[in-house]
Amino acid sequence: IDIFKKDVVLVPVNLGNAHWTCAAINFQKKRIEYHDSMGRKRGKVYKILRDYLSKEHKDKKKKDFDFTGWEDYFDDDAPQQENAYDCGVFSCQFMEYLSRGAPFSFNQENMGYLRQRMILEIMRGKLWDQQSA
């Protein structure tokens, strides 16, 4: 797979087996994004993904990746969880919305419904059609 031909590459991030977050390599916007439902910035994530991009580009394209114009983006406005156990649902929702290029329109109040919907999507093997909502 040539990730450099994709619009966005979504990366689930697990922090110490205790918290799930989401990163995205956004080729259209030329930025590495980080979305955390607990609002914590993690500079290490950007470094790891930049290292990955460099190595992947060197391996696949046989030349260095050009980071000119690229930025590290932290989403200060990402929806925030209000408990200690919904981070996985938030991270899955971040990735689902990012995959559609849609603004985040969910919050803590939606987690029960979204958790149930995700169970149904997994059982059906198909994402819920956002257009029919």
User: Which residue, among 127, 51, 37, has the nearest Cα to 87 in the 3D structure?
Assistant: 37
CA torsion, ordered 31, 35, 39, 44, to nearest 10 deg? -60
Contact between 25 and 8 under an 8 Å Cβ cutoff? The reply is yes
Buried b (16+ CB within 10 A) or exposed e, 93-131: bbbbbbeeeeebebeeebbeebeeebeeeeeeeeeeeee
* Global confidence as pTM: 0.91
Q: Which domains does the chain have, with CATH numbers?
A: 3-132 (3.40.395.10)
Looking at residue 128, what is its pLDDT?
80
Helical H runs in 17-110? Answer: 43-61, 87-100
| pLDDT at residue 132 greater than cutoff 70 | no
Residue 48 has pLDDT above 70, yes or no: yes
Count CB atoms within 10 A of the CB of residue 9.
18
Helix or strand (DSSP H, E) at 106: none
Mean pLDDT of the region 49-67: 97
For the annotated catalytic residues, the residue numbers are 19, 36, 87
Which amino acid makes up residue 60? K
Chain centroid offset of residue 100 CA: 12
